[in-house]
Chain A
């Protein structure tokens, strides 16, 4: 019988993973997802903002590419859905090239309700460099003369009402790496005190914990799980498809944990057998 060595040939492990992920996804199983503190912090901040400062400005920054769509796009959908259901105004920008196209995809997905383009929200497009990111804090029109639809920004009521980015009451950045949160912390939060929330993939999220701990970030949305938690908070279950992926995610994580435990048990037993031999 051929000995199974998953360290040199992990294909059986991959096959198990495929089965464990595919079955729950195809069966569309939905289970409740407990809400973490970092996610609840973002949700509560936005809810409080709508109550205490209605019609204030929120800036959403789409700082991720097509490869991070599975992790960050659901977050963008649920946060935008929440913002559009509240009396808040939204400006969409992007530090990554794919941002404007992904913004359009989010806007096509959500229910805009009574929100009107130009009055309640606007898509300004791609921020090409740091100078634009800094400059728009004081003068949006100078650095974004037209929006993504070709309209002069001076003609948009939302820009007339909020001509400077520093008037924002919150900035939420869905960040896949650099440029991302670091720029906003440096040039928006530190000089102007604009509260910042971040949506990050699971791989980068631990790196942002120091900023959350120190209060520089009001909250962090971590990976697709945060989107699933958010769906329960805003009572729009599976609007982004995140909740139905949670069972698959749980199953794959538990499979990895079980296999690691079993392999270590086997390793320890082998070692004690070798020690026991004369």
Chain B
């Protein structure tokens, strides 16, 4: 027999509501060919990679320290595809440092595919994609050493980070010309804001791919996310007003 877990019915209703909003928003955006809002400064990525090419310096990419199960990592890997393509086009060495073994295999594939698609398979070097350590501070130590030795022109830190974010970003700051960070970990965002020239804040990390590729399908999904956020804002406003008036309807609904 089917029965709902108590305390989760409200969540399920909300989830279905948000998913429907995402679907409707996506369809609308696809039909009306909406454009993604510009994410401030992200266009500079192209010029930074070109500058790295002119200086004959490399680009460093860190997809964070979480596994492939983390949505931050997946968003970072989506952006890695774009960065890898640019680096291969401009003949810039891309160094990727991983803290997770499954991510290591995915990043190897991504970089290899980028070289294959550009017809430069002979230039692919498997040593550019390195697994450092699963322990976050051992990873941080490895990245700090790598940044000081390789001296890349551009450091990109995207994905899920914990306490090591400031160490790698600060160490990279002294060596690199530009730094680009992005995470949805709210603890680490202030550190990236203080050390990076450009930071993607939380939701921007997920939206960045759609903005860069300008693919209508990706943009439509980003619009869908925004519709979900509108629902959340309306719920919060309605809930706040009702609670202030002594009505606990929305609270009871969410606690079902």
Contact = CB atoms under 8 A, between A and B. Distances in A.
- B interface secondary structure, majority: loop
B187 interface: yes
A278 interface: no
Contact of A191 (B7, B66, B135, B137): B7
Given A65-B135, A67-B135, A67-B137, A203 B7 contact: no
A150 interface: no
Interface in B125-145: 135-137
A201 B137 CA distance: 15
Interface residues of B, number: 11
Nearest to B161: A177
Nearest to A205: B187
Interface in B1-47: 5-7
Contact of B162 (A177, A190, A191, A206): A177
Interface string A201-229: 10110110000000000000000000000
A67 B136 contact: yes
A201 B7 contact: no
Contacts of B136: 65, 67
Given A65-B135, A67-B135, A207-B186, A190 B163 contact: no
Interface in A180-198: 190-191
A203 B5 contact: no
Nearest to B135: A65
B5 to A, nearest CB: 7
B139 to A, nearest CB: 11
Interface residues of A, number: 13
Please indicate which of the listed interface residues A67, A68, A207 has the most CB atoms of chain B within 10 Å of its own CB.
A67
B7 A190 contact: yes
B171 to A, nearest CB: 12
B187 A203 contact: yes
A203 B185 CA distance: 11
Contact of A207 (B7, B135, B187): B187
Interface string B30-70: 00000000000000000000000000000000000010000
Contacts of B162: 176-177, 203-204
A187 to B, nearest CB: 11
Contact of B187 (A65, A68, A190, A204): A204
Contacts of A207: 186-187
Contacts of A178: 66
Contacts of B186: 206-207
Contacts of B66: 178
Nearest to B65: A177
Nearest to B166: A203
Interface string A5-45: 00000000000000000000000000000000000000000
Interface string B170-213: 00000000000000001100000000000000000000000000
A28 B186 CA distance: 36
A50 B135 CA distance: 38
Contacts of B135: 65, 67
B225 to A, nearest CB: 21
Interface string B77-103: 000000000000000000000000000
Contacts of B6: 191
A190 B5 CA distance: 11
Contacts of A65: 135-136
Nearest to A98: B135
A201 B6 CA distance: 33
A135 B66 CA distance: 24
B144 to A, nearest CB: 14
A68 B164 CA distance: 11
10 contacts: A67-B135, A67-B136, A67-B137, A177-B162, A191-B6, A191-B7, A201-B163, A203-B187, A204-B162, A207-B186
Interface of B: 5-7, 66, 135-137, 162-163, 186-187
Given A191-B6, A206-B186, 15 more contacts: A65-B135, A65-B136, A67-B135, A67-B163, A68-B163, A190-B7, A191-B5, A191-B7, A201-B163, A203-B162, A203-B163, A203-B187, A204-B162, A204-B187, A207-B187
Interface of A: 65, 67-68, 176-178, 190-191, 201, 203-204, 206-207
Query: 8 tightest A-B contacts by CB?
Result: A67-B137, A177-B162, A203-B187, A203-B163, A204-B187, A207-B187, A207-B186, A190-B7
